[in-house]
Structure 1
Amino acid sequence: MKAEYETYCATHGRPDRIELMLCDINAVLRGKWLPGDAIGKLEGGAVRLPYSTYAPAIMGNEVEATGLGIVVGDPDGVLVPVPGTLRPVPWMPGKVAQLQVEMLTPEGAPSPISPREILKATLARFAARGWRPVVATELEFYILRPRKRGDDPPVPPPRTPTAQNYDLEVVARQEAILTEILSTCEAQGLETDTLIAEYGPGQFEVNFHHTEDVLRAAETAILFRRLVRGIVARHGMEATFMAKPYAEAPGNGMHVHCSILDAEGRNIFAPEGQGNIFADGTGPAGPAPLLKQAVAGVLDTMADFQAIFAPHMNSYRRFQPMSFAPSSPDWGYDNRAAGVRLPQTDGPAARLEHRISGADVNPYLVLTAILGGILHGIDTDPDLPLPIDDPGAAPAPTLGHDWFDAVERFAVSDHVAEVFGETYRHVYAAVKTDEVQTLTGLITPVEYRYYLSRL
């Protein structure tokens, strides 16, 4: 850390403060402000947080059923830096740096409830086979007019069309915000690819480059959300990665592209010694056997992992028929209606695209679930249904629309225990059950409007 800190200071000057950021179960960044000259305290293990900080509810309260927090005396864990994450925060006044941290258990070991450690454990399973996953994410978000109260509904920016799909004029209107987002991504080492105006009013999407550093891909998605909200707020607007901010407009998704390299750097999803495969999957061979098994495994585990792909009450508004969000464990070739899409099935770029997750997810956990599903498919070779493009394909049963059902299924799933471990299965289910009970227990204004004076 000392060398990284000195390099940072030589490039950007000594920071006034360093914001220490710990990713919790909901991918909310929690932590402390550290004086800019106190990096030695962090290196010396003198900076701590309550260990329960890993697993609060989205409202911020601790959840007794997790077995964490005050029920066990709320002990501290020691914060340790994540190497390579000391970066400037250009949108904030003054000299501000940010640094991702992890937390050791009170006994000094890596935490079994750290989302980052959960993903590391899955990557270790690939490394044991000599394989290296390659991933890329795509994140959608909305820019809104500023709201006066937290419960005010969203309103698009002025002069925003209802459907702005790929509209370059819309991008130009938000040029000041969007160019600052991209330049700040560069300053923070977040490798962006393309930026487009998405379909919804005020909606945009940024794609990131494919990378073998899967942990960094997850961190990039988390830091990008913080960056976007900060920059958009500085321009007097508001940004959200909420899954479904508008009832009648498309939701925000996080699509994940994934391939696997072997020890020699060859893509194991590409057919060996075979001719080209066309975009519709026809040709001499079709998808490679390992790609078929990977898709089958992701589909076979998708319902059990739905509470990861759709973690909040609002997330389930995306799962509607004929919406822009896939709602079934099905697959297709170049078909964006499918839960798993195969954009390419031959050559170095052969891969699957997982299209189920909302932009409101914890990226560490989503990548764990997808990669765990891939290994499940390769190890057990479950049946692969026909692609939705096939005339003989039967419709797949839709994913659930009920949040509590998804959490209950997650809580007892053997697939979840295998991929996430029984400890994390318990903690995650307890936190989500608390969120379900809290939010579904509220009586909404809609109920008062339509029922109070009529019944």
Structure 2
Amino acid sequence: MTQQKTAATSSPDLPPRIEILLVGMNGDLRGKQIPLEGEKKIWDGSVRLPSSTQSLDIWGDDNDDITGLSLSVGDPDGACIPDSRSLVPMPWAPAGSKQVLATMHEFDGTPSFMDPRAILAALLKRFEDRGLTPVVATELEFYVIQDDWRETGKPRPPERLMYRDEPNGFQLYDMSAVDALDGYLQTVRAWARAQDLPADATTAEFGPGQFEINLLHRPDALAAADDCIYLKRIAEQAAKLHGLKSTCMAKPYANQAGSGLHVHASIIDRDGRNILDAKGGDPVKLKSVCAGMLDTMRDAQLVFAPFANSYRRFQPGSFAPIDLTWGFGHRGTAIRIPDKDGPAARVEHRVAGADVNPYLLLTAILGGILRGLDENLDPGPVTEPGKDAPDARRLTHDFLTAVEDFSASPFIADVFGPRYQKLYGDTKRKEAITYLRTVSDFDYQTYLPRI
């Protein structure tokens, strides 16, 4: 069993607990809270939950009528097998409390086809079979808002921020925004340190109350996804402590920047060499890897933008890419090459929103990279700073179109498995159709008086 780290707690007089957590389809955490004296059952693999837990949609519905995975088959249990590497303290809980991530398994010992951690692990096995290891880092953007959104029906920036009432009051890199929420950010950093997360720089982003936290690279993509899930939870729990709320909605404000989750990736071989290193020459492998990600990007857009709100982020003139383009150091492209030479040679995927499931995100990205490594692909003309982008295919702005592209893709079937492709596609189709059937305030304000 992994050695438990010590951490401060806000509830020292309450009994400690351990939480065993499963990651759901939408990146949500579900599981069980167990008294610490019952911890042995976790490591024995005897904690069970219904297998359908990981088929729940954004509302928590099992959609048995379209998936047939719940009551239709008796809603069978699966075994929650913990990953001891992910055992960390919960600094917001009573002293000695901890949490651990698990992967759902069938009782024959095979991982569930619905488990996002298992899906990513299966793809990483393909790299391992080639003697390759992805090295991954993530950059998470999120907003901090006042915790009165239930009463107001909408988010509003924290009271103490300078620019909170200014529609164009951008706070990018503004240390006064960091200072204004320093107590909250210090708590996030302290709790990240307690969980041994490789958190690095924290910066104020464009929108009021928007911040970015970088997680340093990991030569273990599964651990990198775990880090990201844990960071989201830390941001949420720290916000509660400070009377605030954090949100990873892709576009919480109509007139402010959306929140993204950028991914940096390189590939090392058995000898620890970065195989994307161009060594001062033509970055052939880097370009082929870019092409692999671009060729599969439309098929996987439903993973990068999993909700109706996600598509509000893709707007012309924003830092959220809308074209399938690539470039050297160009932050307006979908795929950016920050460095092409040396150990730091890598690609940056800039499409996903902060609302993404990090396990499915890395599966889609690394699946595209694998295609670029297995084939010699041409990404097309490079996008150069100060020049118009070359003609390129575009990402869709439509949720339902992304669902159908995902559902029909041979790439998705190969990387995620045909059963998960159908489950995810059918569940998201229901969500998209529900969204289309919802008449909004915009409809009433715009059309009712005029039509």
For normalisation by structure 2, the TM-score amounts to: 0.93
Rounded Cα–Cα distance in structure 1 between residues aligned with 2:339 and 2:449: 57
> Match of 2:155?
154
Give the direction of change, closer, same or farther, for the CA distance of 1:169–1:347 in structure 2 (3 Å limit).
Answer: same
Rounded Cα–Cα distance in structure 1 between residues aligned with 2:275 and 2:220: 18
Name the amino acid aligned to 1:339. A
> Match of 2:45?
45
Rounded Cα–Cα distance in structure 1 between residues aligned with 2:269 and 2:34: 42
Asked if the contact 2:51–2:75 (Cα under 8 Å) also holds between the matched residues in 1, the reply is yes
Pairing of 1:54-453 with structure 2 (within 5 A) = 54-64=54-64, 65-93=66-94, 95-149=96-150, 152-158=153-159, 159-161=161-163, 162-272=169-279, 275=280, 285-287=281-283, 289-389=284-384, 394-452=390-448
Asked if the contact 1:15–1:37 (Cα under 8 Å) also holds between the matched residues in 2, the reply is no
Rounded Cα–Cα distance in structure 1 between residues aligned with 2:341 and 2:29: 39
User: Could you say what secondary structure the match of 2:86 adopts?
Assistant: coil
User: Could you say what secondary structure the match of 1:200 adopts?
Assistant: coil
Aligned Cα RMSD in Å? 2.0
Rounded Cα–Cα distance in structure 2 between residues aligned with 1:137 and 1:413: 26
Rounded Cα–Cα distance in structure 1 between residues aligned with 2:388 and 2:5: 62
Asked if the contact 1:160–1:202 (Cα under 8 Å) also holds between the matched residues in 2, the reply is no
Q: CA deviation at 1:392?
A: 8.4
Rounded Cα–Cα distance in structure 1 between residues aligned with 2:412 and 2:311: 20
Name the amino acid aligned to 2:180. R
User: Could you say what secondary structure the match of 2:4 adopts?
Assistant: helix
User: Could you say what secondary structure the match of 2:439 adopts?
Assistant: coil
Rounded Cα–Cα distance in structure 2 between residues aligned with 1:322 and 1:148: 29
User: Could you say what secondary structure the match of 1:342 adopts?
Assistant: strand
Q: CA deviation at 1:66?
A: 2.3
Rounded Cα–Cα distance in structure 2 between residues aligned with 1:253 and 1:8: 32
User: Could you say what secondary structure the match of 2:317 adopts?
Assistant: coil
Identity of aligned residues (%): 44
Rounded Cα–Cα distance in structure 2 between residues aligned with 1:105 and 1:392: 52
Name the amino acid aligned to 2:272. G
Name the amino acid aligned to 1:357. A
Asked if the contact 2:171–2:207 (Cα under 8 Å) also holds between the matched residues in 1, the reply is yes
Asked if the contact 1:228–1:239 (Cα under 8 Å) also holds between the matched residues in 2, the reply is yes
Give the direction of change, closer, same or farther, for the CA distance of 1:106–1:150 in structure 2 (3 Å limit).
Answer: farther
Give the direction of change, closer, same or farther, for the CA distance of 1:108–1:130 in structure 2 (3 Å limit).
Answer: closer
Rounded Cα–Cα distance in structure 1 between residues aligned with 2:276 and 2:149: 50
User: Could you say what secondary structure the match of 1:399 adopts?
Assistant: coil
Asked if the contact 1:385–1:393 (Cα under 8 Å) also holds between the matched residues in 2, the reply is no
Q: CA deviation at 1:15?
A: 6.1
Counting matched residue pairs gives 439
Rounded Cα–Cα distance in structure 2 between residues aligned with 1:313 and 1:67: 24
Name the amino acid aligned to 2:343. P
Name the amino acid aligned to 1:402. D
Rounded Cα–Cα distance in structure 1 between residues aligned with 2:60 and 2:318: 32
User: Could you say what secondary structure the match of 2:374 adopts?
Assistant: helix
> Match of 1:280?
none
Name the amino acid aligned to 1:366. L
The more displaced of 143-152 and 408-417 is 143-152
Structure 2 gap segments, 5+ residues each:
164-168
Rounded Cα–Cα distance in structure 2 between residues aligned with 1:227 and 1:185: 7
Q: CA deviation at 1:145?
A: 1.2
State whether structure 2 residue 25 is matched by structure 1 residue 25: yes
> Match of 2:166?
none
Name the amino acid aligned to 2:251. K
Asked if the contact 1:63–1:430 (Cα under 8 Å) also holds between the matched residues in 2, the reply is no
Rounded Cα–Cα distance in structure 1 between residues aligned with 2:439 and 2:37: 49
For normalisation by structure 1, the TM-score amounts to: 0.92
